[in-house]
Chains A and B, each alone.
Chain A
Amino acid sequence: MNKAETKNILVYIEVADAAPVKVSLESLAQAKRMADEKGEKVIAAVIGQNIGDAAKEAAAAGADKVIAVDDAAFADFNLDVTADVMMQIIEKEKPEAVFVGGTQDGKDLAPKLGAKCATGCASDVVGMKLDEQGNIDFTCPLYSGTVLEDVVIAEARPQIATLRSGAFKKLEEAGQGEVVAESFTVADDAVKAKITETVKELTESVNLEDAEIIVSGGRGMGSADNFKLVQELADLLGGVVGATRPAIEDGWVPRNHQVGQSGKIVAPKLYIACGISGATQHLSGITGSDYIVAINKDEDAPIFSVANIGIVGNALKVLPVMIEEVKKIQAQ
């Protein structure tokens, strides 16, 4: 796409249960910040079935214009279909940048669009600013976030990026954009991979990204039975249970509780890590937390390097006391 012809930022809005997912609203907010700085507009694309309310929500969350593509044919996400519709929108709108929330499907969609547009894609963006040439300078984590890299997509357009959940704040009452209904058709031969069945195995939904309090357990909890202490404290505090990969691989807790590089990146107000030593893959997922309390037997455990309070001790002994104390505080 010819750089000189492009302007405005297009944001793909992913919809779940008839509402935009949180990272899509965060992406919209960040798009507005960047567009305002350049004197440009934000266009949102909402694709699916019965997405009227989601489109309205996007219009109030930072978009100047929302393209609502409401069609039974697009009811379920299919990478090829969504990419084809997005390409038709991109060709029409000629955006300077395309932001996609870094969900599983978003992380597939962004490079798919990148390849179709013969442009580049910044992944898992945690920060951004405009450079002197007006390009977006994207900050991306490398090596589980122990190193950050700033990248630009200097010449190719659009500049495509997936944004990390929780890295950007969403806007409340950002304004009132217009919603425009548009329809698109996708040719059969554009769809190379078809989803024949969607199965929800994990019925309990776990919203780690939005949680204000997370109590997580790792291998140090020792067994599924001991892990119940983590659950008890989380329930007591009105929080969500998190876990490290070893705790999940040992079957103590379902995999949708995983926090870290290959699980969810979280940013709660309080994160309590129980029996977690703190592998970089886990730490990279929790450093956005406001306050971290860690319980671990090993005083040299890396988790203590990020903890506000580091309790050197046996989580199995510390947790029951904490649970009783929290009950006392709550009774007051």
Chain B
Amino acid sequence: MPAHSVGLVAAQSARFDAPLVLKSGAVVPAYELVYETYGTLNAAKSNAILICHALSGHHHVAGYTDPEHIKETLGWWDNMIGPGKPLDTRKFFVVGVNNLGGCHGSTGPSSLNPATGHPWGADFPLVTVEDWVRAQARLADRLGIDAWAAVMGGSLGGMQALQWAIDQPERVRHAAVIAAAPRLTAENIAFNDVARQAILTDPDFHGGNFYQHHTKPARGLRLARMLGHITYLSDDQMAEKFGRKLKNDAIDYGYGVEFEIESYLRYQGDKFASWFDANTYLLMTKALDYFDPAHATDGNLAAALARARAKFLVISFTTDWRFSPARSRKIVNALVRNGQDVAYASIASQHGHDSFLMMDAQYHAIVRAYMERIAA
């Protein structure tokens, strides 16, 4: 077993039979959430931390699911969470959950709709970050957790941490909002829409009901992921990793793979399209686009955040241009304006938006220091 690993983990599932009325007005009659837990909930139930996932994430956050294939089955934030890691599972009880609308076991577009006996497909309603918070709150109820010691996430996961602090002020003691933004810019939405168009115009999409046609819009999903992936990296990092390196040392004067970066992106796109659900991808990008907690307060983010009782840790990365440090500063400024507690670190990192998933000494030291104070 790797050092500081939570080890072999298995997902659990919680079923909720009370209908969930979504922000859109649509109703999910019943749903299941898959989740994993690491560490031990203390007697006071005061050491629980919820990890919210980003666009393509899921409940499998730490540890591995196959002892024969440890490296391949590691959780997506395994470098952050485990015994002795920045988020120390010897002190905290950590919960990872797959969001409603996901494609890793929680109820989503690829799940069977009990009303029809077919996958939900296009009939699965769009969900918002607020809806996720409410769905996750029911899981907290089920686990007997009145208040989270912290809700933590990167990117879209950070947005959920922010929404939790606003919507459930008494249930969040700390919110760790990493590589996030208070809302998307027009540029962010534009990228998301091109990604969606790639999927929606794929002939294999079948209006979202491709399951019945025993196919999937792999070309569209692949393109969507390739585009998305570019926005997760930094120009510097791409220059360093790929530059203008050629796959076969010579230009072919054709449209095949010539540059290394093309090869890399196509590989990433193909890999992603083989395991991710296109409807979930569409739904997640829409949740991102709709996220705007200040909308209800006429664009005033400070007014929206005034309800929060949590203390905040906000972290951004210098080369993240998808959700730049300036976006995180908007959150910080609003909190300071309200006289709320917030620590903010801007981490010098090469890896663009993806930095939040990477090992970085300063980043991990900051999270460790913050979490140690929570635990104390």
* Same assembly: no
